[in-house]
């Protein structure tokens, strides 16, 4: 056992949140407009953002919260860069050494003059000023609600840029058939990117398997529904697909009855690679250290198992994705 693992396990056993925050960890499922340090936002922007404390009735209720608490105050380019800084500050405070966040494809024109270099230099300036020690893996995000031709047009400036690490798909899982996105994901594979998608938060186990199969996913954001079917869990293990889970978000959106009954334990027992992440810190009060501690307090996983998951999150999947791309091209 290395020193960090020893410190992490001991901190969990003592239920010492401050000590947990000193141990390196990753956050691979984080929406930066909702991921910031609320104390810093209050002190520097004069805005108090309170998290939800009881399960929400629907995604529509969460969207209403976001409109009132975030969008009303942080519009435009300056607002996005403020929230980027807040998210990086939150990550530093929480001991996050690897952070995967990204910008939406539509934002390039709206906030960065349609210029990729403008986008990259703007983000890097904030990172260098606030969190140069963090490994920031830049994702490209897109919504299921957008048409495929529109997305292909907006993605054109991003293709083959080595500065981008991953592609992610989010939004209503029923907005359109997952097969529609196959051309986009094939092109992203040619760019050497890690392939992700939000799936299985609301749908069925077969929805998860279908998305992985159609889009050749390396990682799934959520994937909770896979726990409904042992055959799908076996499929995910065989495909070595990683699930980037967000326990408090899942509970407060009514996707699990309690943290004690979260399927992360079943996934780990089945040999599926899993990570623990924040999702939306400002909504769910879910910084990564708290997520580990809450799962430990709920008896969901042991301190040793949680440390194994912490170490899994610090692994990088870029080489795996690139090798798969080479095989597909060949």
Phi then psi for residue 131, to 5 deg, are -150, 60
In tens, the pLDDT along 3-54 reads: 999 999 999 999 999 999 999 999 999 999 999 999 999 999 999 999 999 9
pLDDT band at 58 (very low <50, low <70, confident <90, very high): confident
Residue 322 pLDDT > 60: no
Q: What is the DSSP string of 240-280?
A: T-EEEE-HHHHHHTTSSS-GGG-THHHHHHTT--EEE--B-
Is 205:226 a contact under the CB 8 Å cutoff?
yes
Q: What is the pTM of this model?
A: 0.94
pLDDT for 317 = 63
Helix or strand or coil: residue 270? coil
Is 93:37 a contact under the CB 8 Å cutoff?
yes
Angstrom distance (rounded) from CA 262 to CA 118: 41
Residue 236 pLDDT > 70: yes
In tens, the pLDDT along 77-99 reads: 999 999 999 999 999 999 999 99
In tens, the pLDDT along 280-311 reads: 999 999 999 999 999 999 999 999 999 999 99
Specify which residues 275 forms β-bridges with. Answer: 244
Average pLDDT, the chain: 94
Q: What percent of the chain has pLDDT over 90?
A: 92
Residue 59 pLDDT > 90: no
pLDDT for 224 = 97
Angstrom distance (rounded) from CA 105 to CA 114: 10
DSSP 68: I
Angstrom distance (rounded) from CA 262 to CA 294: 11
Q: How many C-beta atoms surround the C-beta of residue 127 within 10 A? A: 19
- Tell me the domains of the chain and their CATH numbers: 3-12+24-329 (3.20.20.140)
pLDDT for 328 = 36
In tens, the pLDDT along 132-179 reads: 999 999 999 999 999 999 999 999 999 999 999 999 999 989 899 999
In tens, the pLDDT along 173-202 reads: 989 999 999 999 999 999 999 999 999 999
pLDDT for 316 = 76
State the pairing for strand pair 135-143/194-199: unpaired
Residue 70 pLDDT > 70: yes
In tens, the pLDDT along 253-290 reads: 999 999 999 999 999 999 999 999 999 999 999 999 99
């Amino acid at each position: 056992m290395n020193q960090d693992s020893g410190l992490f396990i001991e901190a969990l056993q003592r239920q010492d949140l401050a000590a947990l925050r000193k141990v390196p960890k990753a956050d691979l499922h984080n929406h930066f407009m909702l991921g910031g340090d609320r104390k810093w936002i209050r002190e520097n922007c004069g805005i108090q953002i309170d998290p939800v404390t009881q399960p929400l009735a629907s995604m529509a209720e969460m969207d209403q919260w976001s409109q009132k608490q975030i969008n009303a105050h942080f519009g435009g380019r300056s607002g996005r860069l403020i929230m980027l800084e807040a998210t990086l500050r939150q990550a530093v405070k929480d001991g996050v050494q690897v952070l995967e966040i990204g910008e939406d494809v539509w934002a390039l024109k709206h906030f960065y003059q349609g210029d990729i270099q403008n986008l990259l230099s703007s983000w890097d300036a904030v990172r260098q000023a606030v969190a140069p020690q963090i490994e920031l893996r830049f994702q490209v995000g897109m919504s299921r609600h957008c048409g495929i031709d529109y997305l292909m047009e907006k993605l054109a400036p991003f293709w083959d840029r080595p500065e981008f690490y991953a592609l992610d798909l989010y939004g209503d899982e029923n907005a359109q058939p997952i097969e529609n996105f196959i051309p986009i994901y094939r092109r992203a594979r040619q760019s050497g990117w890690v392939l992700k998608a939000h799936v299985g938060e609301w749908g069925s186990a077969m929805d998860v398997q279908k998305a992985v199969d159609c889009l050749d996913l390396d990682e799934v954001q959520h994937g909770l529904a896979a726990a409904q079917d042992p055959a799908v869990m076996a499929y995910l293990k065989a495909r070595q697909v990683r699930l980037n889970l967000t326990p408090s978000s899942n509970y407060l959106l009514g996707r699990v009855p309690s943290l004690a009954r979260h399927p992360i334990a079943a996934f780990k027992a089945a040999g599926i690679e899993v990570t623990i992440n924040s999702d939306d810190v400002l909504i769910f009060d879910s910084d990564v250290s708290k997520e580990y501690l809450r799962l430990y307090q709920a008896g969901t996983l042991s301190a040793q198992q949680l440390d194994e998951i912490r170490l899994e999150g610090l692994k990088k999947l870029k080489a795996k994705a690139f090798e798969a791309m080479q095989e597909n091209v060949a």
